[in-house]
Amino acid sequence: MNDNMIQDTLLVTPALLVPLLPLIGFLINGLFGKFLPKSVTGWIAALAILGSFICSVTLFNGLNSTSSLNIDIFNWIAFSNINITFGFLIDPLTITMLLVVTGIGFLIHLYSIGYMHDDEGFTRFFTYLNLFIFFMLLLVMGNNYLVMFIGWEGVGLCSYLLIGFWFKNESYNNAAKKAFVMNRIGDLGFLLGMFFMLFYFGSIDYSTVANQAQTLAPNSALLITITMLLFVGAMGKSAQLPLFTWLPDAMAGPTPVSALIHAATMVTAGIYMIVRSNILFSLAPTTLTFILIVGVATSVFAAVIGLLQNDIKKVLAYSTVSQLGLMFAALGLGAFSSGMFHVVTHAFFKALLFLGAGSVIHALHGEQDIRKMGGLGKYIKVTYITFLLASLAISGFPFLSGFFSKDEILAHAFEQNKTIWVILSISSFITAFYMFRLVFLTFFGNFRGTEETKKHIHESPITMTLPLIVLCILAVVGGLLGLPEVFHVQHAFSTYLSSVTEGSAQYLVHHEKVSHATEIALMSFAGIGAIVVILFAYNKYVKQNALPADDVELTGLNKVISNKFYVDEIYETVFVKPITVLSDLFLVLVDKLIIDLAVNATAWIVATTGKTMRLMQTGNTGFYVFAMVIGMMVLLIIRLFI
């Protein structure tokens, strides 16, 4: 993968500290949290992440974009010819993720100190959050697939714990369980993919796998199998069709969790994994095509559902699914660094959107239905402005971060397949529409809730607004990380990642780059389109004061969309019900009736034989003697004549 690995001892310490600090934070809060005052536990957790962030920055400064650092810590599973080490690999891709995870992680910790202030599970919350960051860091830092898998499943566990954070509520618990189980389906794919690699390549180190894969014929069955299985893992973790239904349900968790885990970091793990294995995937074009189809389908499908959601967090959740679909589409097009770029910008604005939503919910004391909001812009200014800017960014408003990252993907789509480009453009216009439907319904017009609530609307404390402001700045200027070459600058982001992605370039089909003029045309089209859509939404929801209809009034297609195409119900009937029926059937019919009956029948036969035979014991001495004599005579006859 990277030839000039350097063993820079100075950087080993910060590299080890990056995951260690959250772990220490987790242990302190987990073991001694109940002896510490609230204010201390929250800050311990936040400072641990800040420490990690500083270490990550140190790594960023210490390593240039062509070098990487490999640290083998100990042999984890090692015997005969299997050798899986527990080790870290720090390269530009890792560092990108580290900065996003720890940076946004810290801001969200900070925000949570305010947001969770009155919650009885305050300490527990930060304990889980630290644990999550720890696992997320393992995921991105591991130097082989198994260490990644530790993080992969670990974040799944934390996601389970945090979705079900308010564990007295049964539906939240169900959502948590659903998330875990759906992730597990993907994890099985990941696991099998690792088995294939371990079996055929003899190793699951990133570098060995990449090298071994290049000795195989491109698009060979083995490569397709491996990549498909890995992608199944990614589908589960990154909520792609058909394993996406857990993510909207996961909004049951506290809002900072939705921001951190279900928008900015964990759900992008699938994209990270594919970019990490970009050589493998680029050698399997069939899989890439499949990823493209799944990504595009998810993007549109989720966006359409997002149009008719009325829960502020659910809208954002479907938007996340849709954006993740877009990222996968980028990967499917072989534009690995563009996908990563969108991961980063998406992390900025989506975390901001969720935190903003959290701030709104905080202000309204738990109200999440946008039909009962409205006119909030007047009361909570900071939240309003930051939320508005984030919405502009996600909608692709010119020169904000989402504009650049999205356009990069759209340009790649245009190069390769015009149909894909059309569909993705439609999807992004839908995104712009429902985002501004959300903004207008929430912040514009008149307040539609009760007077009681209205009196208590208040801006959030500084610990909550500060992260909003910082993220807002990032969401606005984040696009500068990857200014396209049209502006006569080097694409900073893809240059930084080039050492990771260059290995795969030779295996991808090269399409002719669009000319600068076309690219500018495309950008203008997307930008103007977004503005038009936003104006359309303004016309509908502000000018005409349209309100979403109540669920019961919906008919036809609207009803189907509003009910999320009944996907949950279909899964319920197709998978859940049959398994429960099967379970009962196995227990009652097979176990009790067939197997146990066979066992008991054996015992019954023995007992019955005994019962019958004992009847010969009549107690009549004469009979016994008679039998004895007869027996002896029979023996005598046998001896004499036979």
Where do contacts with other proteins occur on this chain (CB under 8 A)?
Answer: 30, 74-80, 82, 146, 149-150, 152-154, 157, 160, 164, 167-170, 173-174, 177, 180-181, 184-185, 187-188, 191-192, 195, 198-199, 579-580, 582-584, 586-587, 590-591, 595-596, 598-599, 603, 614-615, 617-622, 625-626, 629
Q: Is 2 helix (H, G, I), strand (E, B) or coil?
A: coil
Q: Which of 558, 563, 574, 567 is nearest to 245 (CA)?
A: 567
- Closest CB to other proteins among 229 and 321? 229
Q: How far is the CB of 235 from other proteins (least distance, A)?
A: 14
- C-beta closer to other proteins: residue 120 or 553: 120
For residue 88, what is the DSSP state?
Answer: E
Q: CB of residue 202 vs other proteins: minimum separation in angstroms?
A: 12
Q: How many CA atoms lie within 13 A of 92 on its CB side?
A: 21
Nearest to 428 by CA among 295, 331, 247, 299: 299
Contact 476, 385 (CB under 8 A): no
What sign results for the dihedral spanned by CA atoms 179, 181, 182, 183?
positive
Nearer to other proteins, 289 or 583 (CB): 583
10 Å Cβ neighbour count for 595? 12
* Strand partners for 5: 68
CA 243 to chain CA centroid, nearest Å: 10
Q: CA triplet 253, 258, 263: central angle to 5 degrees?
A: 155
Give Cβ neighbours of residue 120 (< 8 Å, ≥ 6 apart): none
**Closest distance between other proteins and the C-beta of residue 256, in Å?**
21
Q: What SS3 class is residue 197?
A: helix
Query: Which structure tokens are listed for 566?
Result: 């009944």
CB of 381 to other proteins, least distance (A): 39
Give the pair of three-digit tokens for residue 37. Answer: 């005052």
User: Measured from the CB atom, is 117 or 177 closer to other proteins?
Assistant: 177
Q: What minimum distance in Å lies between the beta carbon of 76 and other proteins?
A: 8
Closest CB 127 distance from other proteins, rounded Å? 10
3-class DSSP state for residue 545?
coil
CB of residue 239 to other proteins, shortest distance in Å: 17
**181 versus 514: smaller Cβ distance to other proteins:** 181
CB of 138 to other proteins, least distance (A): 9
Which alpha helices (H) appear in 74-217, and where do they start and end?
92-115, 122-141, 145-163, 170-201, 206-214
Of the pair 552, 603, the CB lying nearest other proteins is at: 603
In this complex, which beta carbon is closest to other proteins, that of residue 25 or of residue 154?
154
Least Å from the CB of residue 216 to other proteins: 18
Question: Under a CB-based contact definition with an 8 Å cutoff, are residues 71 and 6 in contact?
Answer: no
**Contact (CB, 8 A) for 355 and 321:** no
The residue (of 187 and 408) whose beta carbon lies closer to other proteins is 187
Task: Quote the least distance from Cβ 225 to other proteins, whole Å.
Answer: 9
Q: How many other CB atoms are found less than 10 A from the CB of residue 241?
A: 21
Quick one: 569 or 591, whose CB is closer to other proteins?
591
CA distances from 616 to 375, 610, 630 (A): 98, 10, 15
- Structure token pair of residue 471: 């993220």
